[in-house]
C-alpha cells in the first residue's frame, strides 16, 4: 500500500516539468506577501489624502413645551446646516505617505528574502533526492556484481575450491545491499513527500561538480550590499527616521475649517465661518514622549542590523569552509582513493579466481569501493548545498 501511495505521488511529480522560479513565485507564502505589498501601496495614497468633510444638520432652541416646530418665536431659534473640513499639515500627510512607502520597500526585500529561503530549501531537497537516486544506481550496479560473484562462488564451491562459509558470506553481502536499497528508497519517499509542499510537477535539476569558488572577502562584501534581509532592515531604519520626523511635526497644530448656514423663520438668516486648531499644551507628556519613543525604536532597529550583519558574516564563513572542504575531499576521493580501491579490487578478484584469496577479501575490497563512491556522491551534494546557501546569503540564488 505504501508503495502504491508514493508511486501515485511520483507520477504527479514527473508528469510535468516546472522551473524553480515558477514554483517559488506561485508559493502561497510569496503570494500572501505580494498581496500585502499592494495593500501598502493603497494605504500610502489613503494617508496622503484629506479626510472626508463632515456635514451637520442641527435645530437650535427647541421649545418642546410650546410649539416645538415653530421657528419664528425667537431670534435665537434656527435650523442650521454646516460643513467642516479637517486639514492636517501637508508635511504630516507627506510623512504618513512616506512611512507606508518605506514599509512597502522593507516588505519588498522581505519578499525577496523569503523567496531565496524557499528556493534554498527546495534546492536542498532536490539535491538530497539526487543523492539517493545516484546511490541507488550504484547499489543496483553492485547487486549485479554480487549476483555474478554468487554464481562464481557456487561454481568454486562445487569443485571444492572455496568453503561453504564463503558462499554464505557473499549471499549475506547481497542481502546487505538489498537492505541499504530499501532504506534509501524509504528516505527518497520521505523527500518526495516534502517536495510536494513546493510542487506536484517535475523539477529538473543537476548538481555541479565541486570547483573553486569566490574568495571569502568577496562573498562577505556581496552579502553586505545585496543580502535582502539586511536591505529590509536598512529600509526599516529609514522608516524610523520618517516616524521621528512625523512625531516632531506633532508640535505644530492641525486646522479644522468650518462654515454653516442658519435659517430663521421671520428673522434674517445668517452664515457662520471659523477655524479651530489644537494647542500642544501638554507637549512634555505627549509630543516629547512620542519623539523619544521613536528615537529608541530607531536605536533598536540599528542594533538589530548590526547583529544581523555579524550573523550573516558568520553563516557565509561556515558555508564557505564547508564548500571548500567538500571540494577537497571530493577530489581526494575521485582522483586518488577511487583509483586505489578499484586497483586493489582488480588484484584481489584475480587472486580469488585462482584460489589465492577468499571471498571475505573480495567483499572487503568491494565495500571499500562502495564506500568511496557513496562518499563521492555525498561530497557533491554537500558542496552544492553549501554553494546554494552562500548564494542565498549573498542574494544571488537562482
Of residues 46, 47, 72, the one with CA closest to residue 61: 72
Reply yes or no on whether the pLDDT at 212 is more than 50.
Answer: yes
pLDDT in tens, 116-146: 999 999 999 999 999 999 999 999 999 999 9
Residue 381 gets the label, from left (phi > 0), alpha (psi -120 to 50) or beta, of alpha
Q: What is the CATH classification number for the domain harbouring 227?
A: 1.20.1600.10
Query: 301 by DSSP, 3-state: which?
Result: helix
* 382's grid cell: 554537500
Note the pLDDT tens digit of each residue in 105-122.
999 999 999 999 999 999
Establish if 13 belongs to a structural domain: no
Quote the number of domains for the chain.
1
396 close to 222: Cβ distance less than 8 angstroms = yes
Question: Hunting for cell 546554494 — which residue is that?
Answer: 388
The average confidence (pLDDT) of the chain is 87
Q: State pTM to two decimals.
A: 0.82
Does residue 240 form part of some domain? yes
* pLDDT exceeds cutoff 50 at 5: no
- What is each CA distance from 193 to 8, 115, 280, in whole angstroms? 11, 21, 62
Contact 123, 245 (CB under 8 A): no
pLDDT above 80 (res 8): no
Q: Which of 249, 251, 247, 252 is nearest to 297 (CA)?
A: 247
The string over 79-115, giving b where at least 16 C-beta atoms fall within 10 Å of a residue's C-beta and e elsewhere, is: ebebebeeebeeebbbbbbbbbbbbbbbbbbbbbbbb
Domain that holds residue 123: 18-50+88-144+206-250+286-393
Is 118 within a domain? yes
The C-alpha atoms of residue 242 and residue 236 are separated, in whole angstroms, by 10
Looking at residue 18, what is its pLDDT?
63
Do the domain assignments include residue 200?
A: no
pLDDT, tens digit, 9 for 90 and up, residues 238-284: 999 999 999 999 999 989 999 999 887 777 888 999 999 988 888 88
- Residue 354, SS3? coil
Per-residue confidence at 65, pLDDT binned at 50, 70, 90? Answer: low
Confirm whether 59 is domain-assigned.
no
Highest mean pLDDT among 44-48, 149-153, 246-250, 308-312: 308-312
Q: Which single residue is written with the C-alpha cell 561538480?
A: 209
Query: What is the mean pLDDT of the segment spanning 208-219?
Result: 94
Q: Is 272 part of any domain? A: no
* In-domain check, residue 67: no
Q: Answer whether residue 227 is part of any domain.
A: yes
Q: Quick one: pLDDT at residue 281?
A: 85
d(Cα 145, Cα 140) in Å, to the nearest integer? 9
- What percentage of the chain reaches a pLDDT higher than 90? 63
Cα separation, 110 vs 118, in Å, equals 12
User: Taking a C-beta distance cutoff of 8 angstroms, is the pair 150, 170 a contact?
Assistant: yes
* 39-53, 59-73, 91-105, 175-189: range with lowest mean pLDDT: 59-73
Amino acid at each position: 500500500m505504501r508503495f502504491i501511495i508514493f508511486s501515485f505521488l511520483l507520477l504527479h511529480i514527473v508528469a510535468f516539468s516546472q522551473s524553480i522560479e515558477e514554483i517559488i513565485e506561485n508559493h502561497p507564502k510569496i503570494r500572501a506577501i505580494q498581496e500585502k505589498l499592494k495593500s501598502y501601496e493603497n494605504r500610502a495614497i489613503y494617508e496622503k489624502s484629506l479626510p472626508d468633510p463632515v456635514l451637520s444638520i442641527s435645530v437650535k432652541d427647541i421649545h418642546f413645551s410650546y410649539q416645538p416646530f415653530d421657528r419664528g418665536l425667537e431670534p435665537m431659534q434656527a435650523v442650521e446646516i454646516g460643513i467642516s473640513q479637517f486639514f492636517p499639515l501637508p508635511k504630516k500627510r507627506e510623512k504618513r505617505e512616506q512611512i507606508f512607502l518605506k514599509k512597502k520597500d522593507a516588505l519588498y526585500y522581505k519578499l525577496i528574502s523569503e523567496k531565496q529561503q524557499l528556493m534554498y530549501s527546495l534546492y536542498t531537497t532536490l539535491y538530497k533526492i539526487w543523492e539517493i537516486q545516484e546511490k541507488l544506481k550504484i547499489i543496483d550496479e553492485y547487486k549485479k556484481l554480487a549476483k555474478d560473484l554468487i554464481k562464481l562462488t557456487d561454481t568454486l564451491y562445487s569443485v571444492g575450491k572455496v568453503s561453504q562459509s564463503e558462499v554464505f558470506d557473499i549471499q549475506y553481502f547481497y542481502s546487505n545491499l538489498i537492505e541499504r536499497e530499501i532504506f534509501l528508497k524509504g528516505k527518497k519517499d520521505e523527500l518526495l513527500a516534502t517536495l510536494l509542499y513546493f510542487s506536484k510537477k517535475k523539477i529538473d535539476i543537476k548538481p555541479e561538480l565541486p570547483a573553486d569558488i569566490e574568495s571569502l572577502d568577496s562573498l562577505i562584501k556581496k552579502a553586505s550590499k545585496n543580502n535582502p534581509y539586511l536591505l529590509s532592515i536598512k529600509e526599516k531604519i529609514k522608516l524610523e527616521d520618517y516616524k521621528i520626523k512625523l512625531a516632531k511635526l506633532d508640535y505644530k497644530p492641525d486646522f479644522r475649517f468650518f462654515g454653516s448656514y442658519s435659517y430663521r423663520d421671520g428673522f434674517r438668516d445668517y452664515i457662520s465661518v471659523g477655524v479651530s486648531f489644537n494647542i500642544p499644551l501638554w507637549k512634555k507628556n505627549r509630543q516629547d514622549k512620542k519623539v523619544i519613543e521613536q528615537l529608541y525604536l530607531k536605536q533598536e532597529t540599528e542594533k538589530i542590523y548590526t547583529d544581523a550583519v555579524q550573523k550573516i558574516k558568520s553563516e557565509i564563513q561556515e558555508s564557505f569552509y564547508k564548500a571548500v572542504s567538500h571540494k577537497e575531499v571530493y577530489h581526494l576521493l575521485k582522483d586518488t582513493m577511487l583509483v586505489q580501491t578499484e586497483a586493489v579490487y582488480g588484484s584481489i578478484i584475480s587472486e580469488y579466481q585462482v584460489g589465492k584469496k577468499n571471498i571475505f577479501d573480495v567483499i572487503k575490497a568491494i565495500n571499500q569501493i562502495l564506500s568511496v563512491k557513496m562518499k563521492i556522491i555525498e561530497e557533491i551534494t554537500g558542496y552544492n548545498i553549501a554553494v546554494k546557501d552562500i548564494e542565498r546569503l549573498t542574494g544571488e540564488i537562482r
